[in-house]
Structure 1
Amino acid sequence: MKLELSLVVTAAICAAAKPLSKAGPSRNKLLLISFDGFRWDYDQDVDTPNLDQLVLDGVKAKYITPPMLTMTSPSHFTTITGRWVEDHEVVHNMMFNTTTNLKVPHKQTLTRSEWWDNGVLPLWITAQNQGLKTASFFYPGGGANYSGQAVNRVRVEAFDHQDDNETEWRQNIDTVMSWFSEDNFDFVTLYYGEPDNVGHAKGPDHPDRKTIIQQIDRTIGYLREAIELHQLSDSLNVIITSDHGMTTVKKRPLVDEIILNKYLNLLKLVSFEILDYGGFGILTPRPGKQQQVFDALSKAPNLTVYKKDQIPQSFHLGRSERLPPIVVVADLGFNLNSRFIVYVNKGDHGFHNGEMDMKTIFRAFGPDFRRNFLSKPFDSIHIYPLMCKLLGIKPAPHNGSLAMTEDMLLPRGGSHRPPASLAALLLTLLTFAVL
């Protein structure tokens, strides 16, 4: 009798020591969520129980650094490609052409493949080429074709889409969960346009910004309930991040606002410009006028002007073929007005990515992530190889490094405790054996 019990106990111990095998592919699924304009410290002055719980249940980085440019489309495309902006060439939110003076608004640019398809493959396509099913829900770049290839399933924001509808936020989560649980998708990206809109309209210090952060926190809580409901807790990893931070725009009478036409005649000296767009501006001088434009702008206060071939290497912008010859970066909080002050935003981004107000968030949880793990800060470009590791695919060429993030992952095979039912059985057998 004792020998039989000993064999049973031994078998139970062996079973408890081994991770349970899962039906289907060994890889887990991955959801990447981006909350546009979520500054790294936005949850520190608001009651956020669900985000706080994520710190205990998963991984948190103190902050991450977006690429130069700290704008929505360039930054999101760096995350999904693992390439610097000078490589993927999505150098602005607006599609533009310096020869024809074409300027396409951001929402319309989202479906213009000629702006996104520059020879760099986003993760959706790389994963699909290795047999995975992928989808994009409102994520920038998802609505384009890449060398004729489209993402398996795509939803693109309408021009008049309302970004702060909490009911719709939950519906979007329900939809994405069904894509995972019913349609067996492997990788989905989900984008929300807040708190960026509130940050622009009201400023990062306005009470409405705190209100939208609480709405985001409730949405995180709903997400976790939906994961449980769809029985995805043991098979779905989730990364939550953003594209850039936000800072208060400095305005009169507190400061003298920048009006570039005070320092040079834009109509006579410049053939193309995009200004009035936060802290980053681009200009194409007329033939033979580049040095004159550079010299004039160098005398303007509260900004730094660069010739493209002299941009600091740390910006990872200088090799871009699409970027115009003159780049202007304003000091934190100063907007780049062109001829008049027409800028109404109270908060903005586009400033130097070294500024703390431009840093953003990183949270992650799921079966492959450690629990209660605080990661050192890192650049957002390193998210790409992490996602490839989670999906078990070979990355496309990229500029990131898995060494920056792999310590947040569990050892291969995981270290999960045995199910409660198995532990209870083991305890019962051991007790019976003692008796």
Structure 2
Amino acid sequence: MRKIMRLELFLVVSALLGTACKPLSKVAGRNKLLLISFDGFRWDYDQDVDTPNLDQLAVDGVKAKYITPPMLTMTSPSHFTTITGRWVEDHEVVHNMMFNTTTNQKVPHKETLKRSEWWDNGVLPLWITAQDQGLKTASFFYPGGAAKYRGKAVNRVLLEEPNHKDDNETEWRQNINTVMRWFSEEDFSLVTLYYGEPDNVGHAKGPDHPDRKKIIQQIDRTIGYLREAIEQHHLNDSLNVIITSDHGMTTVKKRPQVDELILNKYLNLFQLASFEILDYGGFGIITPKPGKEQEVFDALSMAPNLTVYKKNEIPENFHLGKSERLPPIVVVADLGFNLNSRIIIYVNKGDHGFHNGEMDMKTIFRAFGPDFKRNFLSEPFDSIHIYPLMCKLLQIEPAPHNGSLTVTEDMLQHNGGSQNARLSVALLLSMLLFTFTTL
């Protein structure tokens, strides 16, 4: 009889030990993840506007002081760094425009979003890595979501039309309703949701314009609506949400305050360059004609308000120098100075693409949900580290990446909401083990 009791207790203890040794989230069930990006949301945009819902997020979840995007501070390169955890020199999405330096092909940004040959360079984004491990994923307007990777497509993709209006608040709410149904009715585990504001307003009006403040208030109302929708769909206990962006925004310096840059004053582009993109914000690229690299470099070095680099001499912390796709000459304008190649045709009042160390290029990070701590203020970190955090939340093995979970793990509730259950298991184990040894 005593042997039977010892055997039964041994089986119970073994089962409880197995349960206790597993990560809590494995026992409780895998939580879902929604990644939201508001394009061009500068880190301090909520500081001069009444934003009660963003303020509440800081109480109910995690807020980082700011996030540093990768160098390049452009939409597609930065978004792809977030979703892959790789530096730009590794994932090779080196511009918003797909280009070919041999044929002089330049494809507009919205069209580039459809072109798998621009995105599929051997690095796997989170959607595909999660799908390979049995999860359902979706991309709602998120850059890179419409491409195929090693022949694999994201389970569900919605892609913006070229003339899509980005500031329709009613549509914003409808998009949230759609995503909530994907989670609650179709059991999607990961959805990435992209909004094109406040980037558009920042470009058209400038970051200090009252219309920028209005769009931030609209974003804040949308976040309030999101939280209501999460509750209505009974996802409070199973959905983690990360809200971030790709880059900041700065005011463009124009005449008569400054002399705007016209690079053809310093070098003859027709004679010296075989390819260039020098009319796209603060970042430019040039392929010199054979034997002309030093001449191009020397000429641009004489131009004011910019820094010119040979690709093989780019600072290591840019994480651009190893790129095979990037042309031999890279130009970065000083903050607020737009590059113009031949004539000034640039009408934007705000822009990005500048050095990622500039505070105007920094962006936001908010997170809340069952796996995040409450009222936690994080020190600043690079956006490269969001990827391993997302893999941790989804309980999947990450693909090779450049980030580190140690940067963000302090914002997680390692014991989750079931800490008491763990303590109860530990107490029960102690009692059973004591009984087991005395039989």
TM-score normalised to structure 2 length: 0.89
Q: For the residues of structure 2 that align with 1:189 and 1:357, how far apart are their CA atoms?
A: 25
SS of the equivalent of 1:103 reads: strand
CA–CA distance in structure 1, aligned partners of residues 245 and 420 of structure 2: 32
Aligned to 1:376: 379
Mapped partners of 1:360, 1:408: distance in 2: 18
2:219 aligned residue: 216
AA matched with 1:378: F
Q: Report the Cα distance in structure 1 between the residues aligned to 2:293 and 2:151, rounded to whole angstroms.
A: 38
Spell out, residue by residue over 1:80-128, the C-alpha distance to the aligned partner (whole angstroms, 9 max, x if none). 0000000000000000000000000000000100000000000000000
Query: Partner residue of 2:342?
Result: 339
| Unmatched tracts of structure 1, length 5 or more | 1-17, 419-435
Letter in 1 for 2:85: G
How far, CA to CA, are the matches of 1:157 and 1:338 in structure 2? 30
- SS at 1:304's partner residue? strand
Match of 1:106 among 96, 109, 129: 109
Q: Select 1:277's aligned residue among 252, 271, 280.
A: 280
Matched-pair contact (CA < 8 Å) for 2:128–2:154: yes
Tell whether 2:158 aligns with 1:155: yes
Shift of 1:276: 1.3
Query: Which of 65, 83, 92 in structure 2 is aligned with 1:80?
Result: 83
Report the CA distance shift for 1:302/1:406 in structure 2 as closer, same or farther (over 3 A).
same
Q: CA offset at residue 413 of structure 1? A: 4.0
**Compared CA separation, residues 274 and 233, structure 1 to 2 (3 A):** same
Match of 2:194 in 1: 191
| Shift in CA distance, 25/371, structure 1 to aligned 2, threshold 3 Å | closer
Structure 1 residues 5-404: aligned runs within 5 Å:
26-404=29-407
1:410-421 equivalence runs, <5 A? 410-414=413-417
Letter in 2 for 1:91: V
Residues 372 and 411 in structure 2, CA contact (< 8 A), matched pair in contact too: yes
SS in 1 for 2:226: helix
The residue type paired with residue 311 of structure 1 is I
Which residue is 2:3 aligned to?
Answer: none
* Whole-angstrom CA distance in 2 between matches of 1:25 and 1:152: 25
- Partner Cα distance (2:78, 2:292) in 1: 31
Q: Deviations over 1:125-168 (max 9, x none)?
A: 00000000000000000000001000000001100100000000
Q: Quote the Cα distance in structure 2 between the aligned partners of 1:61 and 1:370.
A: 12
Whole-Å separation in 1 of the counterparts to 2:36 and 2:29: 23
Pair 1:33–1:334, CA change in 2 (3 A): same
Q: Secondary structure at the match of 1:295?
A: helix
CA distance in 2, matches of 1:271, 1:147: 32
Matches of 1:155 and 1:274, distance apart in 2: 29
Structure 2 unaligned blocks of 5 or more: 1-19, 422-439
Deviation at 1:299, TM superposition (A): 0.3
AA at the equivalent of 2:84: T
Q: For 2:180 and 2:245, locate their aligned partners in 1 and report how far apart those are by CA, in whole Å.
A: 20
Bigger Cα displacement from structure 2, 268-277 vs 114-123: 268-277
The one-letter amino acid of 2:275's match is F
Distance in 2 (alpha carbons) for counterparts of 1:248 and 1:193: 18
Q: Aligned Cα RMSD in Å?
A: 1.5
Question: What does the per-residue CA deviation read over 1:246-267, in whole Å, with 9 as the maximum and x for residues that have no partner?
Answer: 0000000000001000000011
Letter of the aligned partner of 2:135 in structure 1? L
Residue-pair matches, total: 399
CA distance in 2, matches of 1:322, 1:146: 18
Q: Does the 8 Å contact 2:333/2:354 carry over to 1?
A: yes
Give per-residue Cα distances to partners, 1:259-281, cap 9 Å, x unaligned: 00000001111111111111100
Give the residue type in structure 2 aligned to 1:238: V
SS of the counterpart of 2:66? strand
Cα distance in structure 2, aligned partners of 1:227 and 1:115 = 35
Spell out the pairing of 1:415-434 with structure 2 (5 A cutoff).
none
Q: Secondary structure at the match of 2:386?
A: helix
CA distance in 1, matches of 2:356, 2:348: 20
In 1, the alpha carbon distance for the partners of 2:420 and 2:170 equals: 36
Looking at structure 2, the residues matched to 400 and 83 of structure 1 have their Cα atoms a distance apart, in angstroms, of 7
CA contact (8 A) 2:370 2:416 kept: no
Cα distance in 2, alignment partners of residues 412 and 270 from structure 1:
59
SS at match of 1:258: coil
